[in-house]
Amino acid sequence: MKTVFFGGTFDPVHNGHIQLARGAKTALHADRVLLTPAAASPHKGHASAAPAADRLAMLRLATDGEPGIEICEFELQRPPPSYTFDTIQSLRKEFPFEEFVLLIGADQLPRLHTWHRIEELLSVVKTAVLLRQGTPIPDKPPEKILAPWWPEIKKSVLDLPEIDISATDIRQRLGKGLPISGLVHPGVERYIYAKRLYGAVAPRRESGDGSRE
Task: Kindly report, residue by residue over 160-207, the tens digit of the pLDDT.
Answer: 888 889 999 999 999 999 999 999 999 999 999 999 999 998 655 544
Residue 204: the pLDDT is 53
* pTM of the entire predicted model: 0.89
Residue 209: the pLDDT is 45
Q: Tell me: pLDDT of 87 over 60.
A: yes
Residue 97: the pLDDT is 95
Residue type, 108: Q
Q: Count up the domains in the chain and report the number.
A: 1
Mean pLDDT, the chain, rounded, equals 90
Average pLDDT over residues 110-125: 96
Average pLDDT over residues 45-69: 90
For residue 146, tell me if it sits in a domain.
Answer: yes
* CATH number of the domain to which 41 belongs: 3.40.50.620
For residue 82, tell me if it sits in a domain.
Answer: yes
Q: Tell me: pLDDT of 149 over 90.
A: yes
Average pLDDT over residues 131-148: 88
For residue 55, tell me if it sits in a domain.
Answer: yes
Residue 206: the pLDDT is 41
Residue 44: the pLDDT is 56
Q: Tell me: pLDDT of 92 over 90.
A: yes
Question: Beta strands of the chain (E only): which ranges?
Answer: 2-8, 32-37, 69-71, 99-105, 126-130, 157-158
Residue 203: the pLDDT is 59
The neighbour count for residue 84, using CB atoms within 10 Å, is: 23
For residue 200, tell me if it sits in a domain.
Answer: no
Lowest mean pLDDT among 9-18, 115-124, 130-139: 130-139
For residue 196, tell me if it sits in a domain.
Answer: no
Helix residue ranges per DSSP H, the chain: 15-27, 52-63, 84-94, 118-124, 150-155, 167-175, 186-195
Give, as one character, the DSSP assignment of residue 63: H
Per the structure, the complete domain to which residue 151 belongs is given by: 2-166
Lowest mean pLDDT among 12-16, 53-57, 76-80: 76-80
For residue 197, tell me if it sits in a domain.
Answer: no
Q: Tell me: pLDDT of 95 over 50.
A: yes
Q: Tell me: pLDDT of 147 over 90.
A: yes
Average pLDDT over residues 79-101: 94
For residue 184, tell me if it sits in a domain.
Answer: no
Residues 6 or more apart whose Cβ sits within 8 Å of residue 59: 10, 13, 35, 37, 71
Residue 135: the pLDDT is 78
Residue 43: the pLDDT is 57
For residue 57, tell me if it sits in a domain.
Answer: yes
